[in-house]
Amino acid sequence: MKRLIVYGLAGGALLALLKVIEYKHFVHAYPTEIYGGLVAAIFSALGVYLGLRWTRAREVVVIHEVRVPHEVRVPVGGQFALDAEKLKQVGITPREHEILGLIAEGLSNREIGERLFVSENTVKTHSSRLFEKLVVKRRVQAVLKGRELGLIP
């Protein structure tokens, strides 16, 4: 909310600035290029500022951890609890769910087929339908979504 106000004000200021420039132009104190250049420069700067402001995720905070051996990073809650409701809700069949799990393990379609003793084509069919139901386009997204929905660990 505060943001909006700030931007409103900024916008107002800029418009005012434009007016001033326009006015000067009217008096023809200097050639128009000057004013055009001015506006250009100002708005370029503004653009740089805003661009940086909006997309700032560009700082990576590297946290240097003090000890804490890496081994002990145990899956916290112990066992993974499958959310049966979500599963039903999304309408995923057992087979599709199984394949989602294998995708999440980083297996290729072919490997999944070998693991399940079915053809790669079959795996593709299942995964297609899976993506459809999860409303995703790529397998990484499927894994993300599946995790998010509590379908996989």
Q: What is the CA radius of gyration of the chain?
A: 28
Q: Should residue 67 be labelled a site residue for DNA when binding is judged by CB under 7 A?
A: no
Judged by CB under 7 A, which of 121, 147, 148, 153 binds DNA?
121
- Phi-psi sector, 138: left (phi>0), alpha (psi -120 to 50), beta: beta
Interface map 76-115 toward DNA (x if CB under 7 A)? ---------------x-xxxx-----------xxx--x--
37 binds, among DNA, a second copy, none (CB under 5 to 8 A by kind): a second copy
- Residues contacting 35, CB < 8 A, separation 6+: 21, 22, 24, 25
CB of 117 to a second copy, least distance (A): 11
Residue 30 phi/psi, 5-degree rounding, is -130, 165
55 binds, among DNA, a second copy, none (CB under 5 to 8 A by kind): a second copy
Q: Are 153 and 99 in contact (CB under 8 A)?
A: no
Distance CA 142, CA 148 (A): 10
Residues that bind a second copy (CB under 8 A): 14, 18, 21-22, 25, 32-33, 36-37, 39-52, 55-68, 70-74, 76, 81-87, 94, 97-98, 103-106, 108, 136, 138-141, 143-144, 150
